[in-house]
Chains A and B, each alone.
Chain A
Amino acid sequence: SAVISQKPSRDICQRGTSLTIQCQVDSQVTMMFWYRQQPGQSLTLIATANQGSEATYESGFVIDKFPISRPNLTFSTLTVSNMSPEDSSIYLCSVEDLLLIGYTFGSGTRLTVV
């Protein structure tokens, strides 16, 4: 199955600052997905990142807050901008894994905003 390297693994950030999370996949994939898991909650899709086009955001998520880059078919970044404590969550990237016939997730980034 696809292997996704995600970093940083965790970070503690000051409110008002921004953090960029990176995901590198060991194979070319058309779409990459970014999820958020707030404490005690389930995973919620933030956006879908396609190479060569703007990311598609889900309801409740906007580009100014969560800008996404997708420069090639193996890499994507998610930036959490102007952070507040409410942004403290686990952030996960994911790809559709055609070999696995499912969706594979990166190792996750645990973000704490103080």
Chain B
Amino acid sequence: EDKVVQSPLSLVVHEGDTVTLNCSYEVTNFRSLLWYKQEKKAPTFLFMLTSSGIEKKSGRLSSILDKKELFSILNITATQTGDSAVYLCARLPNSGYALNFGKGTSLLVTP
């Protein structure tokens, strides 16, 4: 089955902590893996990963894809309360355009 599994499902941390969110998948052949931040309704784009082992970075957020071990991680350093959101991982298959989403990790950053 073509599952995208995210872990943990939820996480509570204190401001300043570093968090690592995980995304694992089962299908080896795909175009890209994407990360989104969903605060209310609309997911906002964070990263698109196509190649294995190449880290993408944006401010305090970074992400990397491991195609051999079939997972990706999203790191957030020096967390802030504004980082509180659901983080979604999605796989873009080789054919078609349907993003296959995981259920997300709900992150709460407390002051």
Residue of A1, A58, A108 near B42 (CB, 8 A) is A108
Residues of B within 8 A of A33 (CB): 97-98
A contact residues, range: 20 to 34
When C-beta atoms are compared, the residue in chain B nearest to A103 turns out to be B99
User: Would B48 and A101 count as touching, CB distance under 8 A?
Assistant: yes
Interface residues of A in 62-104 (CB under 8 A from B): 90, 92, 94, 96-97, 100-104
Main secondary structure of the interface of A (DSSP, over half): strand
Q: With contacts A48-B97, A102-B34 known, what are 6 further pairs, Cβ within 8 A?
A: A33-B97, A42-B101, A43-B90, A45-B99, A48-B98, A105-B44
Could you say which residues of chain A place their CB within 8 Å of the CB of B43?
43, 92, 105
Q: Is B68 an interface residue (CB 8 A)?
A: no
Q: Given A100-B45, A101-B48, A104-B45, does the pair A45, B98 have CB atoms closer than 8 Å?
A: yes
Cβ contacts A to B, 18 pairs, < 8 Å: A31-B97, A41-B103, A42-B102, A42-B103, A43-B43, A43-B88, A43-B101, A48-B98, A90-B41, A92-B43, A97-B45, A103-B45, A105-B43, A105-B44, A106-B42, A107-B41, A108-B40, A109-B41
Name A3-53 residues within 8 Å CB distance of B. 31, 33, 41-45, 48
Asked whether B48 lies within 8 Å of A102 as measured between CB atoms, the reply is yes
